[in-house]
């Protein structure tokens, strides 16, 4: 089962299942406790789409959503009428996404039909078709509407602007709205839990590079937060020793690329500090600023840690994603290069102290940039990297391939094939000097098959002209996310950090 929802009678269960080969959730079922055979209620034939189930925050409706990377449609059923049929809100239209929630006698629909960053509309439950939609929050070119949480007396909007999350709260009675005040220049904040509909308390999680994961209850009427819990950091951690900031690099086409940084106070800005730069830039996923106690083993030794919010991610909204996918994918790589050049030019680090890191689609990013600018970095770490783009996207029997035609392109189309081949890390390896490189993969990875990084390393070994280390490490008992055991996971991280410290010149003398 990939998603499960109980109906209001507490005897009827709705659930979805996945295809065993493609790992795509494609079927939905209804099952009653007094019946031995589940009844199929929905099947999704389009291999780009997956299905999921959810319950409205009001608990009145069950929603069945079918969605691809670019398009979605939603069906609804009253939770107290589980034997009924799901009804369609709006038929799918290519490149239009929407999701639905419920309050009172209306549905609240977040939709990107008039602009890529979504707007909010309402519709009567008696007729939620697009002809009945009424705009509540208009589309804004500079603000991404990421999530909508209706409460009985308040409406909470989770928004993203300039690569930062915001929580905006609207009072239904007065119509007044405000943003929750947050204390740091870079951070992440999300609604957390909030299973109660009839309450004036919003629960949210907050963290930053410096502040550990924290849970707050926020009184939406009095506008006051209350800290409930903060993750304890052992070993005498003192947040006052560190600083974080936001800077911007300018890409060749003029795009301003956000960069989030963490460093110890007093770290010199004269190019002498080592720096770890990571990035991802795919699927519209944002590179969130989160607390990671591991990185202080670098920061306490004088290193700077930075995240590049490159195009292809969702950091600056849907247009930011569009600007780094399909036939715009190379913007992801040139953005990252622009960030690295900016950090060097501003004295945060120097080329011979700059280490870069990325995993999965972020491994594609790192593989592409070391082909394009191997002189710019002293070392690179590629974790379960998607480096053989053409061969993987040609094989529709692999999990994810068909669904990701809308992210990378379909190599059966010549223009898309030619473009993918022009940046695919494996296909663009050449006889030249490369940085020191660590490549990691897992035997049981169902998302990036182990042979991709294996053949990448084998070919790189035959081509590279330098004597710098090229280390290949395969985990024989893990999947895409690495080892699941707590201590095994820490050993993997320690291996990566040992490689970084070695290449940064921070490893102890032996």
For 79, other C-beta atoms within 10 Å of its C-beta total: 20
| Catalytic-labelled residue, pool 101, 278, 315, 445 | 445
CB half-sphere exposure, 245, CA atoms < 13 A: 10
Residue 392 has phi, psi (to 5 degrees) of -65, -45
Let me know: does 408 contact 329? Beta carbons within 8 Å.
yes
User: Rg of the Cα trace of the chain?
Assistant: 24
CA distance 295 to 141: 35
State the DSSP H helix or E strand holding residue 340, giving kind and residue range, or none if neither. helix 330-345
Q: In sequence order, what are the beta bridge partners of 484? A: none
Strands 61-67 and 72-78: antiparallel
Asked about 360 being catalytic, the answer comes back as yes
CA distance 152 to 44: 34
> Greatest CA separation found in the chain?
74
Asked about 198 being catalytic, the answer comes back as no
Let me know: does 5 contact 29? Beta carbons within 8 Å.
no
The helix/strand/coil state of 237 is coil
For 474, other C-beta atoms within 10 Å of its C-beta total: 15
| Catalytic-labelled residue, pool 31, 139, 166, 480 | 480
Q: List Cα–Cα distances, 365 to 48, 67, 207, 315, 463, in angstroms.
A: 24, 26, 26, 16, 20
Query: DSSP character for 143?
Result: B
Let me know: does 237 contact 215? Beta carbons within 8 Å.
no
Asked about 445 being catalytic, the answer comes back as yes
| Catalytic-labelled residue, pool 158, 208, 214, 360 | 360
Let me know: does 180 contact 189? Beta carbons within 8 Å.
yes
As annotated, the active-site residues are 360, 445, 480
């Amino acid at each position: 089962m990939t998603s499960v929802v109980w109906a209001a009678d507490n005897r009827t269960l709705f659930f979805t299942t996945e295809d065993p080969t493609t790992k795509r959730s494609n079927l939905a079922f209804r099952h009653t406790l007094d019946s031995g055979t589940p009844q199929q209620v929905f099947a999704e034939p389009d291999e780009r789409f997956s299905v999921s189930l959810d319950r409205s925050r009001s608990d009145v409706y069950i929603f069945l959503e079918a969605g691809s990377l670019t398009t979605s449609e939603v069906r609804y059923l009253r939770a107290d009428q589980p034997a009924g049929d799901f009804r369609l809100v709006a038929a799918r239209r290519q490149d239009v996404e929407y999701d639905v929630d419920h309050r009172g006698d209306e549905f609240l629909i977040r939709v990107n039909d008039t602009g890529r960053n979504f707007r909010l509309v309402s519709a009567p439950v008696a007729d939620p078709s697009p002809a009945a939609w009424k705009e509540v929050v208009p589309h804004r070119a500079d603000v991404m509407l990421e999530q909508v949480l209706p409460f009985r007396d308040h409406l909470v909007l989770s928004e993203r602007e300039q690569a930062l999350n915001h929580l905006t709260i609207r009072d239904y009675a007065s119509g007044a709205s405000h943003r929750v005040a947050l204390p740091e220049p870079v951070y992440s904040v999300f609604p957390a839990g909030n299973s109660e509909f009839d309450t004036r308390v919003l629960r949210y999680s907050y963290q930053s590079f410096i502040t550990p994961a924290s849970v707050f209850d926020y009184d939406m009427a009095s506008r006051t937060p209350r800290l409930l819990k903060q993750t304890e950091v052992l070993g005498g951690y003192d947040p006052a020793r560190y600083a974080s900031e936001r800077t911007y690099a300018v890409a060749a086409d003029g795009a301003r690329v956000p960069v989030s940084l963490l460093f110890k106070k007093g770290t010199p800005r004269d190019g002498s500090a080592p720096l770890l730069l990571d990035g991802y830039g795919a699927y519209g996923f944002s590179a969130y600023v989160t607390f990671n106690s591991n990185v202080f083993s670098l920061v306490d030794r004088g290193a700077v840690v930075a995240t590049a919010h490159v195009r292809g991610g969702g950091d600056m909204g849907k247009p930011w994603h569009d600007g780094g996918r399909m036939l715009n994918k190379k913007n992801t790589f040139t953005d990252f290069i622009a960030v690295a050049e900016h950090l060097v030019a501003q004295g945060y680090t120097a080329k011979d102290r700059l280490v870069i890191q990325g995993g999965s689609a972020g491994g594609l990013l790192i593989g592409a940039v070391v082909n394009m600018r191997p002189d710019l970095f002293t070392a690179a770490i590629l974790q379960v990297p998607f480096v053989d783009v053409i061969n993987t996207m040609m094989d529709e029997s692999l999990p994810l391939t068909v669904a990701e035609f809308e992210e990378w392109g379909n190599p059966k189309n010549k223009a898309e094939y030619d473009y993918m081949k022009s940046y695919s890390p494996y296909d663009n390896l050449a006889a030249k000097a490369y940085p020191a490189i660590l490549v990691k993969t897992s035997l049981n990875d169902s998302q990036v098959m182990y042979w991709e990084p294996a053949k990448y390393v084998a070919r790189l070994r035959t081509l590279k002209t330098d004597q710098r280390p090229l280390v290949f490490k395969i985990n024989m008992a893990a999947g895409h996310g690495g080892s699941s055991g707590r201590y095994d996971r820490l050993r993997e991280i320690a291996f990566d950090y040992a490689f970084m410290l070695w290449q940064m010149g921070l490893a102890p003398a032996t």
